[in-house]
Amino acid sequence: MGKNVIKFVCGECGYESGKWLGRCPACNSWNTLQEERIDNKPRITGELKGRAVALSHIENERVERFSTGIGELDRVLGGGIVPGSLILLGGDPGIGKSTLLLQVADHIAGKGEKVLYLSGEESFKQIRLRSLRLGINNENIYLLNEQNIDFLGDFVQKIKPRLVIIDSIQTVYSGNLSSIPGSVSQLKECTARITELAKASDISVFLVGHVTKEGAIAGPKILEHMVDVVVYFEGEKNFAFRLLRGIKNRFGATDELGILEMTGQGLLEVKDPSQYFLDTEAKNVSGTAVAVSFEGSRPFLIEMQALVASSLPPYVRRMAFGIEQNRLALLIAVLEKRRGILLTNCDVYLKVTGGLFLKDPAVDLAVIGAVFSSYKDKPLPSDMVFIGEVGLSGKIRQVPFIDARLKEAEKMGYKKAVIPAGLSFKPGFDPRMEIIQVGMLDEFIEVLMEGWG
């Protein structure tokens, strides 16, 4: 018989220590080591249960995905749900995770399939109130309040659902472990048990995960390694838009982005995001520039707003909402060094409209355009878009998917586009816009000043 061993496990990275430490040596997080009792059971040996199979002998079977009923979620998942897959959905409290999954359950149940919804946080009455608000009343949705994951297999065998939703993975536990729900050992054990059940019964599972104050899914990183798909549900509560961002996907691309709108009737798809992220009313206002960002497999136009205000050094501020703050500071440094525009006595604020967070480097040119426009207090042309990455040398670097970006700008009625020099279009693509190619930051600034006369 093995003895029970007490270990201290980091809740962030899973590092184990024989004694308590204030700071984790692996991830440098403070006060994250928690006491856990580990059962050291003897290793069981016996006959092999599996067999090795040659790769060429495995049959080519086409995976038949099924839809969630929400096109934006299907896009992020790679075209729908793969049977037997484990999907981890993370997001801030109150962002709409339960609402989204209840809508998914309603769609699948409406096709005649059964859905098992295990809730470890809300009562039946709370879920019922949400379903009434969303207009969902389906007999094929089964609710379960059992937090012991050891009984999940019995319910699955009895109900035979197509989809299982567990809200959330931090609230369930296994009776085989003595640690509390949400601990590192329970998270790994429960996820492993659910994975085994999903693969054996070919049932898809949605796991809801809490997030930390830094925005990462709570628990060790191994939790994300164990599942097939990781999707982050992002957005500001003060904005109606919600973003679905794929972080990991064993069955598709990981750079897809889905956009939803929170309404009184639930989450609705935003199929044409460019119309939502542009302020068509604001004309002839300094400090605004329109960028064409490419997120996932589609482009959309979004407005960048900058404000340059006088300040007293050394208390100048650089604040960015929607892009990394260090990225804004870098672009300001390039503007100062390569063009001689001193902003050392100015506060610079930048905001991406709609609450989006952009990682596409092609918005650099629009950021500099908005900052320069606010600095001069002169508006940029309202029919012009900006596409290009800015290097530290001041060179305007080329970006991919230029044809798709320009098509989107044309569709929204824009007449001019500033793009990097040397870009070539695909055969057959003839843009009906005025194309202005710039190779260096100096050329770009001259184009802006010529527009002002």
- pTM of the predicted structure, to 2 decimals: 0.80
The response to whether 435 counts as a known ligand-binding position is no
The predicted structure's pLDDT at residue 41: 58
> Given its phi and psi angles, is residue 28 left (phi above 0), alpha (psi -120 to 50 degrees) or beta?
left
The response to whether 91 counts as a known ligand-binding position is yes
Count of C-beta atoms within a 10 Å radius of residue 70: 21
Question: How many C-alpha atoms does 186 have within 13 Å on its Cβ side?
Answer: 25
The response to whether 95 counts as a known ligand-binding position is yes
The response to whether 431 counts as a known ligand-binding position is no
Separation of CA 383 from chain center = 31
Residue 41 is classified by DSSP as P
The response to whether 96 counts as a known ligand-binding position is yes
The response to whether 93 counts as a known ligand-binding position is yes
- Cβ–Cβ < 8 Å for 248, 108: no
The response to whether 71 counts as a known ligand-binding position is no
- For residues 373 and 367, give the distance between their C-alpha atoms in angstroms, rounded to a whole number: 10
- For residues 327 and 323, give the distance between their C-alpha atoms in angstroms, rounded to a whole number: 7
- Report the SS3 class of residue 414: coil
Q: Digits of tens for pLDDT over the chain (453 positions)?
A: 455 677 888 877 778 888 888 888 888 888 888 777 666 555 555 565 667 889 888 877 777 899 999 999 999 999 999 999 999 998 888 888 999 999 999 999 999 999 999 998 888 999 999 999 999 999 999 999 888 999 999 999 999 999 999 998 989 998 888 778 888 888 888 999 999 999 999 999 999 987 766 656 655 577 888 899 999 988 777 777 888 988 899 988 887 888 898 888 889 998 778 877 776 665 678 999 999 998 877 898 999 999 999 988 778 899 999 999 999 999 999 999 988 888 988 999 999 987 788 889 999 999 999 999 999 999 999 899 999 999 999 999 999 999 999 999 999 999 999 999 988 888 878 888 999 999 999 999 999 998 886
- For residues 39 and 176, give the distance between their C-alpha atoms in angstroms, rounded to a whole number: 9
- For residues 346 and 313, give the distance between their C-alpha atoms in angstroms, rounded to a whole number: 8
The predicted structure's pLDDT at residue 3: 59
| 3-state helix vs strand vs coil in the chain, percent to 5 | 30, 30, 45
Long-range contacts of 318-322 (CB under 8 A, 24+ apart): 318/347, 318/348, 319/347, 319/348, 319/349, 319/350, 320/349, 320/350, 320/351, 321/350, 321/351, 321/352, 322/350, 322/351, 322/352, 322/353, 322/355, 322/356, 322/357, 322/358
Residue 363 is classified by DSSP as G
Strand partners, 248: 230
The predicted structure's pLDDT at residue 216: 63
b/e sequence 236-268, b meaning 16+ C-beta within 10 Å: beeebbbbbbbbebeebeeebbbbbbbeeebbe
The predicted structure's pLDDT at residue 281: 61
The response to whether 154 counts as a known ligand-binding position is no
The predicted structure's pLDDT at residue 58: 81
